A and B are shown apart, each in its own frame.
Chain A
Amino acid sequence: MSLSVVGHIGKGTHTIPIDVTVEAGEVLGIAGRNGVGKTTLMETIAGIVPLLSGSLSFDGVTWDDASQKVWKSPEQRRCAVVFQDLRLFPHMSVLQNVMFGLRSRGISKNEAQSTARMKLDLVSAEHLVHRKAMGLSGGEAQRVALARAIAAEPDVLLLDEPLSAIDAGSREQLRSVLADVLSAFPGVALLVSHDAKDLTSLATRTLTLG
């Protein structure tokens, strides 16, 4: 299983060339200065932004090809994202947030619930289950977003600055949680960070954009 992106990505007039292949089990770190297109790369892989040229494929299946007009929508990609701004559903409880991906894929309520609790346990956030997503602190919300992404059991896990919104103290703690999660993750993982320390400790190799 591998993910490969060859082509140009971008929004509007700013385009960047990309040629990268990531194998399952790898964690590709993405570095680069602000505005260079790290987030756009994530959005392109997830299917929020289409490729401008070239093609994107996973495990031999083409997800997006600009010349052949092939396009798989995000919900068909099994590609979970921890967004930089998290995007937890504010009106739902923590548990409902984590269950969302499972329920969307047609898994029964009971099963989804127990899986969601397990994943919350994995990121040491099991005490938050019944809280509303809206009132969480930065670190808490970050854990929940991570749990929500891995609960969907994706093939590709995209982490966009998963440690940026957290104060230094809990940062170390969350980094070790993240390390555990990533080492147990069987699929392809991409990690965007502007912090060299995150990349050296979590990524298996690093690509610098721009």
Chain B
Amino acid sequence: MLAILFVIAPLLSVIIRVPWSDFWSSLNTTAVRQSLVISIQTSLIAALLAAVLGIPLSWWLARTNSKVSRVIRTICIAPMVLPPVVAGIALLAAFGRRGVLGEQLFNLWGISLPFTKTAVVLAQVFVSMPFLILAVEAAFRQTDEGLEDAARTLGASPTRIFFSVVIPSVRPALLAGVVLAWARSFGEFGASITFAGSFPGRTQTLPMSIYEIASYDYRQALVVSVFMMFVSVAVLAGMRESWASGRTR
């Protein structure tokens, strides 16, 4: 019981210590508003991108069981154990101006990724996709292959089976995976600050903004971080609720 307190106490103490009287005025600064908008934009795009890339990939991983697929699975999950800062550095090594791919990109098309919003999104996708892949692949593995056989005998093409039989049967897990990816992206800091930098109004996300505010005003930083915690906890809790009710139905 005491151990439980150990977990919950931090949360409670934060809420107690927050200077509620100037809660809104602390939040309502240009820097915070700008970074909140950027955070919402980038994390939503990142979650979407992670879904678009990750769902087919996890489908493939779930349906093949070869050496190749095992190697690929390991590669996909590697960013999960990669410290985010290292992930950012690695992205920079690949896509930076002097990076191996980045140089080509710049010479060929004049594209420079680092320190742009695209870089923020890329960093977030990189860090959050493994979580999505893990969650969704597990769900795909549990789907009933008999239903797919039935659909095939009825003349359905693989594409049709995927969209009208497989996807609906894993919808709760898909949703959970996407929300998880979003939450990771929303709170992502290490990879995006190294790869995209922290430029207010351009690449500064909410966590970066908190980090910057913390260097001069811890009280305000506390307020903003509590606000951020509320947002992510509310979304995750909301998903949990709808997911639970969807399962019992």
Q: Which residues of A contact B (CB under 8 A)?
A: 43, 46-48, 73-75, 77-81, 83, 85, 87, 89-92, 100-101, 104-105, 148, 152
Complex: A75 Cα to B150 Cα, angstroms: 10
CB <8 Å contact, B150 and A81:
yes
Closest B residue by C-beta to A134: B249
User: Is B152 within 8 A of A100, CB to CB?
Assistant: no
Question: Which residues of B from 132 to 187 have beta carbons under 8 Å from A?
Answer: 144, 146-147, 149-157, 160, 164-165, 168-169, 171
Chain A residues whose CB sits within 8 angstroms of the CB of B155 once the complex forms? 75, 78, 101, 104-105, 152
8 A-B pairs with C-beta separation under 8 A: A46-B149, A47-B152, A75-B155, A75-B156, A83-B150, A87-B144, A91-B171, A152-B155
Closest approach, in angstroms, between the C-beta of A152 and any C-beta of chain B? 5
Residues of B close to A89: CB separation below 8 A: 147, 150-151, 164-165, 168
Q: Give the CA-CA distance A78 to B155 in the complex, in Å.
A: 7
Verify A100–B149 contact, CB threshold 8 A: no
Across-interface contacts of A87 in B (CB, < 8 A): 144, 146-147, 149-150
Please give the distance in Å from A150's CB to the nearest CB on chain B.
11
Cα–Cα, bound, A92→B156 (Å) = 15
Task: Kindly state the separation between the CA atoms of A152 and B152 in the bound complex, as whole angstroms.
Answer: 12
Whether B154 and A73, one on each chain, are in contact in the complex, defined by CB atoms closer than 8 angstroms, is no
Query: How far, in whole Å, are A48 and B154 apart by their CA atoms in the complex?
Result: 12
* In-complex Cβ contact of A79 among B153, B164, B168, B171 (8 A): B153
Task: Assess whether B169 is in contact with A85, with CB atoms less than 8 Å apart.
Answer: no
